[in-house]
């Protein structure tokens, strides 16, 4: 039996951050930096959370960039937080009403211990606002356990060997809604359906941010005989089903593999320095590591021959699983005995290695390269996990391919304790009434879109993060809804595949684009080129792009004169030469009915 629950985190589009008055959208320019070293504290239960203790043992320090608009002394943890953002609270209350949740009488802010560097204070502020709700989906009614309001974490600037090395404080403190479902989901397909429905519910409020990174899905997955595993940071809805199904396969495969591991009698861990054996290696990355005075450490894994190469799911082996534990300690990964040694260009050094480790025919081994202290911690972590013989409860991170890797132990109740710097907030009847006015009829939205688009495009648009933008445009301008939907979904996707950073084009620019199109300033064939130019320089106006690139629409008497001057008789010829400037439907009327008077179409900005 599979149990899976979702935690959806979505940034809210509010006037300012959650506990200060800094802009939640514009960071301005870098204004300084600070350094912090974080330490865990005991919770109100009198215990230190296991996940916080794990992170603190890494002994890492963290650096943070400060910005003149998007951060202040609150983000630097040098000034007490202000009162809770009421605009954000109202939005969450609205979502609670939509999801039929019981709304609390008083919002109590809590601190959730976080020692991974994502918050300068070593904790994240979070507040439960709704309980015991439900939503209706294609798979039936899905219970919503909690709906909470919390602060976004710092943004990661760079990573080294899987460890964040620097953060930016403009993201820290942006209001974030968290919606947690009950574990009633049974597979990846259902997880995606539920995530899409929650996403639609949030977008339909018109109060959420758009774009990459503004929404994340965390997954809690377990199978019979396995354990609850939390998978963090699934940013793309397109891979959520793959992540869930891969985790189900991983746990089931580990359950079978553990039967063999249980039967192994193992020796005590013996870590050996084998740097000398690899000084003449042809492996470039090992040679470079040795030049940096780093070490090559190794250990025998008794009875593990062949098991390290066991495939847990497609493209992911038990050796990959163990590598995640090494990476969590700061190592770059592992080399193990079940790999193809040819890819490392190894030769006689492997024979010497196995001799030094006293490796027998049934034994495996592991090698880790890097700073000695990190390598020793990494090998100990790999050794312990290799012989664990059960599926451990843990937190894992997801990559873009749907694979997951060990991050840290699963946190428990010991990570929460009350916030003492922020007063609780009463949820009044007036606030609930105000929030209720914001509720949108989702069925009406779906039906409206299905009436204006073909079934396939309507389904795509309903699930799109650009849903609110689509509705704004078609309500404001008399434009073919199909053209708007195709532009926002298909055209942008094609441009993104070409390497165009479409994300730089704001909603306001798309609105401006269709505003000018509605005035017949350019033809639809030019839309792709205009978006491409906007991505290169988002500060340009549509008018400037059209003028500079000579793609203004030729229409009316100007088009008639062009046809007569060029002696064009064929539509194909006209469109080959003027595709980005001429509307083919208008050209047809002129070419095939030349005796009919043409009514001039004037544009207030002239013809370019």
How many Å apart are CA 232 and CA 243, to the nearest integer? 11
Q: What pLDDT sits at residue 377?
A: 95
Write b or e for each residue in 448-471: b if 16 or more Cβ atoms lie within 10 A of its Cβ, otherwise e: bbeebbeeebbebbbbbbbbbbbb
Which letter does DSSP use for residue 74 in this model? Answer: T
| Residue in the structure block whose two tokens are 């060029």 | 566
Cα→Cα distances 445→200, 463, 472, 510, Å? 10, 12, 12, 21
Q: Which residues of the chain have pLDDT under 70?
A: 159-164, 442, 556, 564-574, 576-578, 585-608
Nearest Cα to Cα of residue 409 among 2, 113, 110, 64: 113
Query: What value, to the nearest 5°, has the Cα angle with vertex 132 and ends 100 and 410?
Result: 135
Nearest Cα to Cα of residue 330 among 155, 159, 119, 115: 159
How many Å apart are CA 177 and CA 92, to the nearest integer? 7
How many Å apart are CA 20 and CA 82, to the nearest integer? 5
Residues in the chain: 608
Cα 453 to its chain centre, rounded Å, is 29
The DSSP element (H or E) to which 445 belongs, if any, is helix 442-452
Q: What pLDDT sits at residue 464?
A: 81
**CB atoms closer than 10 angstroms to residue 79:** 12
Which letter does DSSP use for residue 12 in this model? Answer: B
Q: What is the largest CA-CA distance in the chain?
A: 97
Tokens describing residue 206: 């018109």
Q: What pLDDT sits at residue 542?
A: 92
| Residue 556 Ramachandran class (φ > 0 left, ψ -120 to 50 alpha, else beta) | left
Q: What pLDDT sits at residue 413?
A: 78
Q: Which residues lie closer than 8 Å to 272 by C-beta, 6 or more apart? A: 297, 298, 299, 356, 357
- The pTM is what? 0.81
Q: What pLDDT sits at residue 51?
A: 83
Q: Between 556-566 and 571-578, two packed helices, what is the crossing angle to 10 degrees?
A: 110
Q: Long-range contact list for 284-293, CB < 8 A, 24+ apart?
A: 284/345, 285/369, 286/344, 286/369, 289/369, 289/370
How many Å apart are CA 597 and CA 592, to the nearest integer? 12
Q: Between 467-476 and 188-204, two packed helices, what is the crossing angle to 10 degrees?
A: 40
247 touches 34 (CB < 8 A): no
Q: What pLDDT sits at residue 60?
A: 78
Nearest Cα to Cα of residue 35 among 70, 65, 59, 56: 65
Q: What pLDDT sits at residue 608?
A: 42
560 touches 590 (CB < 8 A): yes
| Residue in the structure block whose two tokens are 């024979």 | 351
Q: What pLDDT sits at residue 6?
A: 97
């Amino acid at each position: 039996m599979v149990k899976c629950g979702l935690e959806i985190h979505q940034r809210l589009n509010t006037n300012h951050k959650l506990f200060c008055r800094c802009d939640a959208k514009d960071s301005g320019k870098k204004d300084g930096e600070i350094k912090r070293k974080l330490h865990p504290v005991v919770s109100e239960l009198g215990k230190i959370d296991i996940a916080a203790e794990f992170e603190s043992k890494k002994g890492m320090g963290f650096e943070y960039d400060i910005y003149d608009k998007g951060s202040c002394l609150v983000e630097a943890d040098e000034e007490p937080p202000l009162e809770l953002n009421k605009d954000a609270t109202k939005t969450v209350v609205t979502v609670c009403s939509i999801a039929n949740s019981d709304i609390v009488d008083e919002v109590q802010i809590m601190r959730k211990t976080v020692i991974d560097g994502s918050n300068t204070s070593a904790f994240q502020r979070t507040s439960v606002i709704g309980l015991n709700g439900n939503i209706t989906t294609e798979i039936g009614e899905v219970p919503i356990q909690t709906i909470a309001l919390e602060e976004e974490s710092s943004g990661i600037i760079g990573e080294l060997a899987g460890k964040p090395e620097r953060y930016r404080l403009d993201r820290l403190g942006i209001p974030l809604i968290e919606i947690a479902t009950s574990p009633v989901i049974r597979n990846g397909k259902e997880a995606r359906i539920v995530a899409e429905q929650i996403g639609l519910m949030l977008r339909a409020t018109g109060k959420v941010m758009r774009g990459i990174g503004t929404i994340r899905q965390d997954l809690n997955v377990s199978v019979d005989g396995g354990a609850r595993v939390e998978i963090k940071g699934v940013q793309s809805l397109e891979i959520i089903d793959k992540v869930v199904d891969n985790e189900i396969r991983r746990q089931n495969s580990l359950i079978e593999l553990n039967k063999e591991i249980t039967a192994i009698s193992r020796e005590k861990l013996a870590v050996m320095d084998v740097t000398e054996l690899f000084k003449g290696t042809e492996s470039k990355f090992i040679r470079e590591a040795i030049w940096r005075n780093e070490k090559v450490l190794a250990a025998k894994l008794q009875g593990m021959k062949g098991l390290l190469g066991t495939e847990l799911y497609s493209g992911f082996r038990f050796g990959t699983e163990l590598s995640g534990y090494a990476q969590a300690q700061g190592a770059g990964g592992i080399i193990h005995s079940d790999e193809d040694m040819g890819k490392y260009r190894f030769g006689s050094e492997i024979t010497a290695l196995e001799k030094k480790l006293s490796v027998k025919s049934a034994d495996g081994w592991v090698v880790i390269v890097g700073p000695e202290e990190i390598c020793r911690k990494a090998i100990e972590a790999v050794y312990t996990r290799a012989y664990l013989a059960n599926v451990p409860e843990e937190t894992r991170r997801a990559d873009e391919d749907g694979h997951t890797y060990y991050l840290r132990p699963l946190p428990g109740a010991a990570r929460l304790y009350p916030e003492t710097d922020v007063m609780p907030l009463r949820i009044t009847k007036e606030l609930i009434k105000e929030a209720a006015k914001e509720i949108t009829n989702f069925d009406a939205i779906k039906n409206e879109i299905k009436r204006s688009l073909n079934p396939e495009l309507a389904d795509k648009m309903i699930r799109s993060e650009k849903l609110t933008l689509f509705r704004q445009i078609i309500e404001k301008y008399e434009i073919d809804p199909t053209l708007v939907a195709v532009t926002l979904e298909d055209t942008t996707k094609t441009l993104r595949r070409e390497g165009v950073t479409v994300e730089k084009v704001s909603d306001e620019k798309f609105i401006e684009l269709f505003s000018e199109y509605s005035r017949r300033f350019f033809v639809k064939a030019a839309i792709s080129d205009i978006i491409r130019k906007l991505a290169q320089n988002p500060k340009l106006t549509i008018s400037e792009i059209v003028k500079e690139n000579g793609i203004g629409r030729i229409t009316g008497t100007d088009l008639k004169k062009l046809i007569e001057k060029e002696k064009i008789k064929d539509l194909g010829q006209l469109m080959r030469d003027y595709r980005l400037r001429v509307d083919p439907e208008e050209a047809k009327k002129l070419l095939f009915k030349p005796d009919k008077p043409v009514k001039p179409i004037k544009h207030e900005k002239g013809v370019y």
